[in-house]
Amino acid sequence: MVKRVRPERGFSIVDVLVGLALLALVILSIYQLYIPSFTLSQNIHDGLEAQQDVRLGLDRVSRALRETTTAFGRVRLYAPEAGCTGAFEGCIGFVTARDACTGSFRLVAGAPDWQATIYVWRDTSSNELRLRCDTGSTFPVGVWPPMLEPHTVIGTKVVAASFTLQPAEPPASTAIAVALQEQASSRSTSRYHTSSFNRTIFLPRNQ
């Protein structure tokens, strides 16, 4: 008895196209399911990075703010009419007793020997928090300095900055409040769009 062997049949082009279409549909469904999680994870990472940047900016001025004084003429906040406007925001000038603003702390008869003036401000075009050390004066100038070079960038993701004295009127002021807002994620999913402020009050030890 002769057994006939049937020829093997392959897939038709229609079967292949339908299979590919189903596979693409499954992959697209999985992608749509997980993309919010990916976006949320990335936004959390961006937010933590921005918060870390703001914290580092505060750390870089915290020692100087704690060591300064709120005595009359030694600290100055600059309003728009004093030149802190346009490209500048959150402008403050205060004295330091450290050589070149970062060296050893100078004392004379147990009192700080003021060595320089530190200017801190936010550059509105770049969202940078900047610092300049002026060793030529120990009194902040009355109008925001036109020359702020060279300077040091101490923060790169700051979208708002403000400095206030507490109480507001010197010579009664005893504290300096610093409020910084970090740059929120620029990604399009507003569902996970967050922003927060970091506000710290510094009590100068040299009154």
Tens digits of residue pLDDT in 54-85: 777 788 899 999 999 998 899 999 999 999 99
* Domain of 44, in residue numbers: 40-202
> Which helix (H) or strand (E) covers residue 28, if one does?
helix 13-67
Count: domains in the chain? 1
pLDDT more than 70, % of the chain = 81
pLDDT of residue 188: 45
Any domain includes 21: no
Any domain includes 26: no
Instruction: Kindly report which listed range (43-47, 137-141, 149-153, 160-164) carries the lowest average pLDDT score.
Output: 43-47
Calculate the alpha carbon distances from 133 to 22, 115, 176, 191 in Å: 65, 10, 19, 42
pLDDT of residue 189: 46
First-to-last alpha carbon distance for the chain, in angstroms, is 115
pLDDT of residue 186: 54
Average pLDDT over residues 94-99: 96
Any domain includes 59: yes
Any domain includes 13: no
Average pLDDT over residues 15-30: 83
Any domain includes 4: no
Provide the whole-model pTM.
Answer: 0.76
Confidence of residue 126 (pLDDT cuts 50, 70, 90): very high
